[in-house]
Chains A and B, each alone.
Chain A
């Protein structure tokens, strides 16, 4: 049995498209949209590698794991994947990375890169939350720990990820006081 789904992915309208029952969002991204930057890790919602951003209620973004979420969950919603962050020119070439992507590059945060898209999306959502509700500079480490603690990096590069995020938050105006 099939159904018709539509949504907005990286500012592009997708669908209505006919999809089979039980299709997971990560399969939809990979097989229907050719957006393979979102990685399939544990397949059980534990490692958070497959995290994407969904525009939630009141304009507040939330992160959602796509390996355990059916495509129905994203119907009529605005979704951002790792491909939707960097700026591109009219030919689709990347011209500018986001501060989050730059921070991870500058800190040599990732090794194999499988978990990177999850870290980028979670950190981006965190930055957006902090822009609306800044925290005390002294609490930044705790805030990062809360936001990123579920993300598993099999290369165990946590320290460099966390350092990158900490530097970025402390050096971005308006996120702390």
Chain B
């Protein structure tokens, strides 16, 4: 019983960070109607920035959030503005051109990271990474708890932004109906640039929070891109609340899979769930929410 509870707790904590990964992806999907296949790679870039700041400027990873989020916001906005938006006007045989472009972008980001940092594993281990809080016999790993807390705060912040501010409402409007939004005077192109930046900033936060409990290498991006899909599909495309649920579900199922099935098949658990949801539950959990 103790092992089971411990596993679920670990799953929920990591799920909070996964939710952050998924929300970024789902925002981009909702507004641009594209799958962002460079999502994990953006996270990887943020992690390397965090790593460099820690290694050379001795900046705490949680302080580094203030650097990585704006930095990735700018990177994301630039990608959307100069690489993705021009494709809207292009006539191509395959409508998936933008998606394929993100594949190329992901590849280039990975290779640049490999060129600078080489393929070996890096990690950031401040003193507090090994500390744990105890509730009865259940351990709560401290950096995971901090990460979970910050992830929750960021998510709440995002919701307030989407629900209360003009910009947030414009983003939602564009996601719901682009033509109508255009007619009502929303500059859709600017919204897409902003949204991709926002998505990149959120996944940057996830990466920075994850670094103290994880390790880092250039190909990490690809693995997290896959995780991001699973989360978004679980939650239903374009649904932010769904992404949170999807993140937690993936966190718990991976955690249970690693404990009770095998470490090697941990990733397969996510993929199998993903396939089943794709086929039997199209739309995910979107029905439950309006956001």
Do A and B interact? Answer: no
